[in-house]
């Protein structure tokens, strides 16, 4: 079984999506890039002084605008890829 890292992204407008990465370094880099882009976009839209960034365990991040229903969340979940026809023991 191969280990991978799934980035789950949730936001107020689009719902949920997920992307898998082979390494935790790549997953963290993707989250970092996304957070920077979202913060820049919110500043351009005039929310700069109300934008907050929270950092949680295992690379999780949240960006939200206080007093608004605007939020973005990222969570990194380590998991394994089970080969076709294989089984995973818990």
Cα Rg for the chain, rounded, in angstroms?
A: 16
Q: Which two tokens stand for residue 9?
A: 């992204």
Indicate if the pLDDT at residue 90 is higher than 60.
no
The pLDDT value recorded for residue 89 is 61
**Residue 89 domain-assigned (yes or no):** no
pLDDT at 24: 94
The string of pLDDT tens digits covering residues 15-63 is 999 999 999 999 999 999 999 999 999 999 999 899 999 998 877 899 9
Q: Report how many domains make up the chain.
A: 1
Tell me what pLDDT residue 3 has.
94
| Residue-wise burial string across 52-82, b where 16 or more C-beta atoms lie within 10 A, e elsewhere | eeeeeeebbbbbbbeeeebebbbbbeeeeee
Contacts of 62 (CB under 8 A, 6+ apart): 53, 54, 56, 71, 72, 73, 74
Query: Does 44 fall in a domain?
Result: yes
Instruction: State both tokens at 80.
Output: 């394994």
86 pLDDT higher than 80 = no
pLDDT value at residue 56? 86
Structural domain boundaries, residue 56: 2-81
């Amino acid at each position: 079984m191969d280990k991978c890292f799934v980035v789950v992204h949730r936001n107020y407008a689009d719902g949920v999506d997920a992307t898998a990465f082979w390494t935790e370094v790549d997953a963290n880099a993707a989250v970092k890039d996304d957070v920077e882009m979202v913060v820049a976009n919110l500043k351009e839209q005039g929310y700069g002084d109300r934008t907050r960034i929270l950092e949680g365990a295992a690379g999780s991040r949240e960006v939200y605008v206080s007093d608004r229903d605007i939020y973005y969340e990222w969570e990194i979940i380590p998991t394994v890829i089970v080969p076709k026809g294989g089984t995973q023991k818990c």
